[in-house]
Chains A and B, each alone.
Chain A
Amino acid sequence: LAKTTQPISMDSYEGQEVNITCSHNNIATNDYITWYQQFPSQGPRFIIQGYKTKVTNEVASLFIPADRKSSTLSLPRVSLSDTAVYYCLVGDMGNDYKLSFGAGTTVTVRA
């Protein structure tokens, strides 16, 4: 599993856009990038997954540059309820099944 590095914490205010960048310099050809979100006292929840360029869903966007050595999760117009820990994971679509969670990025949204 490719090693990922992401900031420990980020602060934001309601209505702002939050961008969390994850570094994965040794990403392999068959690797995908996935982000999970975890609220206090809950299990993680899948947010978004991508391989290259840009992916968007109703919750977030994921930007992946051409070299794929990093990725940025973008949360538009955050609210207090977006306060959570966000995990960036990289894994082989065919061979990896267990998820390797680091410490994640704690995002705190203030009023």
Chain B
Amino acid sequence: GAGVSQSPSNKVTEKGKDVELRCDPISGHTALYWYRQRLGQGLEFLIYFQGNSAPDKSGLPSDRFSAERTGESVSTLTIQRTQQEDSAVYLCASSLEEGFTYEQYFGPGTRLTVT
């Protein structure tokens, strides 16, 4: 079946502009996660959704970052007034249920470059 998809695959934006990143999880997966990966580094957790609720937003770096999920499906990560330090690959993952033992399926990521 279809895996996790993300769009756009690449986004170049000017400093100060807003961007929206989209994630389409695997159908039926209740848990959805956003991570950020800077060049040459491991993944950094941003936010987690169980259904349409986000019980853990602790990883969002600042109030310029927000995310929502609708219909227990698509999720959008929005970054307002982008800064150069926001440049990274943003990865979305989904799993059947929440919990460490449930495999997380990752999308290909959105590479964001802020100039």
Contact = CB atoms under 8 A, between A and B. Distances in A.
Nearest to B101: A93
Interface residues of B, number: 25
A-side binding surface: helix, strand, loop or mixed?
loop
B45 A98 contact: yes
B108 A43 contact: yes
Interface residues of A, number: 25
A87 B106 contact: no
Nearest to B104: A99
Nearest to B111: A41
Contacts of A102: 42
A83 interface: no
Nearest to B93: A43
A94 B99 contact: yes
Contacts of B42: 87, 101-104
Contacts of A45: 106
A101 B107 CA distance: 16
A96 interface: yes
Given A98-B56, A104-B42, A49 B91 contact: no
Interface of B: 4, 31, 33, 35, 41-45, 48, 56, 59, 91, 93, 98-101, 103-109
